[in-house]
Amino acid sequence: MLPSARLLRTKILTDGFQEDHNFSFLISSILVFGIADIADLLVLLSYSIVSDCCLGNTPNRLNPNCIAIPVPQDDPYLRRTGVRCMNLTRFPTFQEMQCAPNSLPAERYVILSTPLIDLSTVYGSTSERERQIRAYEGGLLKSEMRNGLEYPPGTAAICINNRRPIENSCYEFGDSYGGNLVSGTYLTAMWFYREHNRLARRLAEINPCWGDQKLFETARQINIAQWQYILYYEATAAVLGRENALEAGIIYDTDEYVNDFDPRYKPGTYHEYIVGIRWFHTLQDERNDLYSRDGRYLGTRTGVDDAFRSGILEVNNTEADLTQGTFRQRAAKVDYNMDPDLAERLFGELQNAGDLPAIDMMRGRDEGLAPYHEYRKLCGLPHAHKFSDLEDTIYPDKLEQMRRIYDGEIDDVELMVAIYSERLIKGGWVGPTLFCIMARNMIEWRKSDRFFFEHGDIPAALTLPQLREVRSTSTARIICDNGDRVDMIQPHAMYNIGKGNELAPCETIPGIDLMKWADPHCHGDAHKEEPNTFKDDDYWAKYYYKK
């Protein structure tokens, strides 16, 4: 029997916090948003509101949808609280989601998001969902204007933590669960939602003969291309190390096309990626600092208390102040500490206690992930037969803790526990096994996506001048264009403000020149406005609606 995930967590990761000297708070927000794009977060809402997985202080073994976490009597942080059980719900099965017959084996992990990097948090994962959020006018997404800012339409079902009647707003993104999860996701989702409409309006000015469908599809293509560029060339290059990412073939140092589409690769997301990428929780600071436009510290919000509470954005300039905090505040240091709020009180008042890294470990068990040494072997590391064979990747103090807790059984050592304990690779901020898992999935995403932004060998591809414009964008530019009252930001916004990365006026931050999308057919009296649908031979439209 495996030891308590809570016991493992308290031995491997301690409660504590130090500021990072490299990364800003923004990097964890972008990484959270990246998970929301490829992994359905509905299960987190279920976890937040379902509380019967603990019967008093005893795990409920009778409910098949529960995998509650027992808390040891001598727990270093909870022993005086009386809490001996942490609530945790399991992922639904395909049968429970009515996606498969009962005659098939029950598969617990159902991903409702699309299996590619495509802003499904903004646009949804199905054509039906996309139709629900479109305005069908000018290529726009539905929106509402309040206090001079554009917001998605409202929804009432998601923001269970809003303090009504003051906090009333909750936003109808393509994936409303992911978009309204925490401040990092609802700010980032808001920026890209607004960016779509900004692009559509500007394209309509440049190409007045374009109809709604052409404007929508082009704005969507540009928006997704920017997101893919930011995730690959900014966020991933930062945490894995740019040189490491180049060597692995995740990114390329070129201003030409990268035609690496390969039909042998199939779109998909590894369970190991979804579990392993949660390493970034060590970067998270749950103190969400508020700053004024001139850099004055205004106060702090606690992130765990703002889960499913996007109604805060429109109260007392909170959106503007939080946005300033995303790039002015430092991230948590990459170390073996976990922010106490994430480790002890995840989702705040919605649960008696919640330990995020312990939950991550339990998710790996629930999904039936293989032992850590099997992933070492897959990643080209020497096969480990005994604990001493792990010394090349795991720090000695962590290895000794694991030897004791797992009672010397190397086959019991779990992937997530080891990921939290591995030595960092040269030039990067992750261990070798997580690097291998991330690299493999990110390479497969780009190789399996015929419409990845750098591919130039299909009719719907960006032209080379357009591709070069996309490569000029950045998170800083997205925030300048779509954040609330942002007029200065550091050019490399995922890194801290400092020498060589000083705050700069937004007008100096490079961005996309949409004139590269000017359509010569739109100028002159001889041409009529295009119809509001793509032609039959438009490969982009055929691909999307088929999908």
Residues of each annotated binding site for heme b: 281
Known binding residues are 281
Strand boundaries in 130-239, DSSP class E: 144-146, 149-151
Name the amino acid, one letter, at 26.
L
Q: From its phi and psi, is residue 492 left (phi > 0), alpha (psi between -120 and 50) or beta?
A: beta
d(CA 58, CA 53) in angstroms, rounded, equals 9
Closest CA to 283 of 8, 6, 35, 7: 35
Whole-number Å distance between alpha carbons of 191 and 410: 45
Question: What are the residues whose beta carbons fall under 8 Å from the beta carbon of 38, sequence distance 6 or more?
Answer: 111, 113, 114, 115, 116, 117, 120, 269, 274
- The whole-angstrom separation of Cα 436 and Cα 424 is 12
For residue 21, the surrounding DSSP H or E stretch is: strand 19-24
- How crowded is the C-beta side of 434, counted as CA atoms within 13 Å? 29
Query: What's the count of helices (H) and strands (E) in the chain, helices before strands?
Result: 21, 14
> What are residue 145's DSSP bridge partners?
150
| Cα–Cα distance measured from residue 190 to residue 326, given in angstroms and rounded to the nearest whole number | 14
- Do 282 and 15 contact (CB within 8 A), yes or no? no
State how far the Cα of 184 lies from the Cα of 479, in Å rounded to an integer.
Answer: 13
CB 152, CB 195: distance < 8 Å: no
